[in-house]
Amino acid sequence: MKKISVLIPCFNEEKGIANVIKDIPKHKLKALGYEVDVFVIDNNCSDKTSGIARDNGAEIIHEPRQGKGNAIITGFKNLPKDTDIVVMLDGDNSYKSHEMLRLIEPIDNKFCDVVIGTRLSGKMHDDSMTFLNRAGNWLLTFLVRVAYHGNVTDVCSGYFAWNKKVIDMMLPHLKSNGFSIEMEMITKMARMDFEIYSIPITYEKREGTSSLDPINDGLKIMYTWGRNLTLKSEKLSA
Ligand SMILES: Nc1nc2c(ncn2[C@@H]2O[C@H](COP(=O)(O)OP(=O)(O)OP(=O)(O)O)[C@@H](O)[C@H]2O)c(=O)[nH]1
Ligand SMILES: [Mg+2]
């Protein structure tokens, strides 16, 4: 059996986490020859996220350093060694875990190394993203396409699938602790010449309350875009 490890970083996601885990298409993936391990990274949750996740079959990893980047990097470090494909998505049920097969198929077929679920070119529900966030995402995506020649259409998406080998090579170079983690991963993967493609996905209004700060976090993401511009691929392969 091949193995898919699903990472779900969570900061107080008791409203969404059960459905995110339940809707993972385990039976369809089994038919493709995959077993699925689910890891919820508990990033200082003060609600019932961990208990609900455990009741739904997830393994809990605790990360006390606050921030999505810290949670994701710790998830990567705890991946089972025999993982073939890694998937990441939010715990707020805004991304649909039942659409996971669509991200996995191009990697399973060796079409590419990385698949990003794209909301901007996908089925984005009207109230799922504010106008400001949407405009910021379009701008950041444009900047990545121009400067990194990255074949991406939604640079702030939180739904990814990777061939595990990409994680092994990328992990030593990751340092973002917050919401810049996706920009850091995309710009570094582009510099490392990994093949990245985008698949349209559904994006719905999140369950629970948002703690994203569009201006502050947007500026940090923009800074990460600029900081990696001078990165040389040789440095990343060292
Ligand atoms: N806000 C926040 N989220 C975290 C943190 N650590 C892990 N996460 C998780 O990271 C994922 C993305 O965070 P979200 O708050 O959903 O951010 P977003 O998807 O960009 O924006 P909204 O869904 O519109 O709020 C969620 O599953 C969070 O629970 C943290 O320290 N702060
Ligand atoms: Mg979210």
Q: Which domains does the chain have, with CATH numbers?
A: 2-237 (3.90.550.10)
Where do the H-state alpha helices sit in 2-130?
A: 17-22, 26-31, 49-55, 68-77, 100-108
Please give the distance, rounded to the nearest whole angstrom, from the Cα atom of residue 235 to the centre of ligand 2. 32
119-168: pLDDT as tens digits: 999 999 989 999 999 999 999 999 999 999 988 999 999 999 999 999 99
User: Stretch 181-204: mean pLDDT, rounded?
Assistant: 97
For the entire predicted model, the pTM comes to 0.96
SS3 222: helix
25-68: pLDDT as tens digits: 999 999 999 999 999 999 999 999 999 999 999 999 999 999 99
> Distance from CA of residue 231 to its chain's centroid?
22
Q: Give the mutation target among 14, 15, 212 for probing the ligand 1 site: most ligand atoms within 8 A of CB.
A: 212
The Cα–Cα gap between 138 and 156 comes to: 9
Tracing tokens 């994006």 back to the chain, one arrives at 203
Q: Which atom of ligand 1 is nearest to the CA of 43?
A: 6
Tell which wins on pLDDT, 214 or 47: 47
Q: Give the mutation target among 62, 87, 90 for probing the ligand 1 site: most ligand atoms within 8 A of CB.
A: 90
Decide if pLDDT at 238 tops 70: no
